[in-house]
Structure formats: C-alpha cells, structure tokens
Chain A
Amino acid sequence: NAGVMQNPRHLVRRRGQEARLRCSPMKGHSHVYWYRQLPEEGLKFMVYLQKENIIDESGMPKERFSAEFPKEGPSILRIQQVVRGDSAAYFCASSPDSGGQETQYFGPGTRLLVL
C-alpha cells in the first residue's frame, strides 16, 4: 500500500520561474494538506483541499501561490515567479477524512531551492 508520494523530491528554480509541486495521496484518501518548512523551523500549514475544492487556504501567501486537487490526478502546489524566500521543504499530507492530529500521513517532501 503505497504511501503519500511527492515529486519531484528536489527542484531548483531561478528567480522569476514557476515551480510546480505534485502530491499523490494515499489510496482511498480524498483530503490533502500542504505544509511548508523553512530552514530551522517546524512545518506550517498552508492549504487544505478535497477533490475539486479548496477547503481552507488561510496559510497560503496571498500572491503567487495557488493549489488545486482535480478530480483526476495529483494535487498541485504552484508557485509563480519564485523568489529566494520560497526556498523551503514543501510537504503534502493526506487523510481519509477531515484529518486531525492522528490521521494525516505525510509524504517525503519536495525541497525547493531558488537561485
């Protein structure tokens, strides 16, 4: 039973480019969460999605960041016109329902480096 999958695992972008991060939830999970971990810090919630719906995006920066979870395919976190401050590890988690503290399963993360 495959866990949460994220790709790419590492991504290098130059300032001004776009970054697309993908997350495939565990089989049977229809709820996806994105978190960002800046260097030397803990994970911070960004957005919560269900299939075709954004439930809570209160942790998302107001500009340049967007997320989607289409009916078919993985969830995508998109960062437009990246800046050096976007360099971080981005983690995706999934759950079978609106998952609280025990039921979110995390992927291995995507490490974004902006040059």
Chain B
Amino acid sequence: LAKTTQPISMDSYEGQEVNITCSHNNIATNDYITWYQQFPSQGPRFIIQGYKTKVTNEVASLFIPADRKSSTLSLPRVSLSDTAVYYCLVGDIRDYKLSFGAGTTVTVRA
C-alpha cells in the first residue's frame, strides 16, 4: 500500500473552497486514489475516486497531476455540515483491505 501524507487539520469559513492535498510519492501503476469523509460518531463515507487528471461529482472534485505523486480534493463552497475528517486512500481498486491514516480534520466556521 502506498503511504499517504495529508495535513492534520484545516480551518475554513462557510462559502469558501477547501482544498486538501495528499502526497503519495510511492503510488503504484495499478493504484487508484480514493477519498472518504467521516462525520463524528459515524462511519466513513465514499466521496470520490480517480486515477489521473480530474474527476468531478456532485460533492467534490479530485485533481491528479500527471506524475500522480499527489492529489487534491476540492470542496466547493463549504458549509458547516462539511465539518468532518477527510481521508485519502491509495491502493489497488480491488484491494478490500482499506487503510485509513489519521486524515485531515476540516473545521468550517460561520
């Protein structure tokens, strides 16, 4: 499993865009990048997944440069309800042993 490094915490205000960068220098050819969100007292929830370039869904965007050694999760116009821990996972898409690091605690203030 590729090791990932992401900031421990980030603060933001409502309506701002939040960008969380994850470093994964040892990413393998078959690895995908997946982001999960975890609210207090809940289990993780899948947000977005990508292999290269840019992926966008109704919740977030994921930017992956050509060398794939990092990725950036972008949350547009955050609200208080986006306060959560965000995890970056890197691994083979078929690997069922999900490995979560400490994640990035995003706190959105009014």
Contact = CB atoms under 8 A, between A and B. Distances in A.
Whether chains A and B associate is: yes
Contacts, number: 72
Contact of A101 (B43, B45, B49): B49
Interface stretch (A13-21, A38-46, A63-71, A72-80): A38-46
Nearest to B31: A101
Interface stretch (B13-21, B70-78, B97-105): B97-105
B44 A101 contact: no
Given A93-B43, A106-B44, A108-B41, A33 B96 contact: yes
Interface string A78-115: 00000000000001010100111110111111010000
- Counting chain B residues whose Cβ lies within 8 A of the other chain, the interface size class is 20 to 34
B101 A108 contact: no
B89 A101 contact: yes
A109 B94 contact: no
B95 interface: yes
Interface in A28-63: 31, 33, 35, 37, 40-45, 48, 56, 58-59
A101 B91 contact: yes
B101 A42 contact: yes
Contacts of A26: none
B93 A102 contact: yes
Interface string B78-110: 000000000101011111111111110000000
B103 A100 contact: no
A67 to B, nearest CB: 15
Interface of A: 4, 31, 33, 35, 37, 40-45, 48, 56, 58-59, 91, 93, 95, 98-102, 104-109, 111
25 contacts: A35-B98, A37-B100, A42-B87, A42-B99, A42-B101, A42-B103, A43-B100, A45-B97, A48-B96, A56-B97, A58-B97, A93-B43, A93-B98, A98-B94, A99-B96, A100-B92, A100-B93, A100-B95, A101-B46, A101-B89, A101-B93, A104-B98, A106-B42, A108-B42, A111-B41
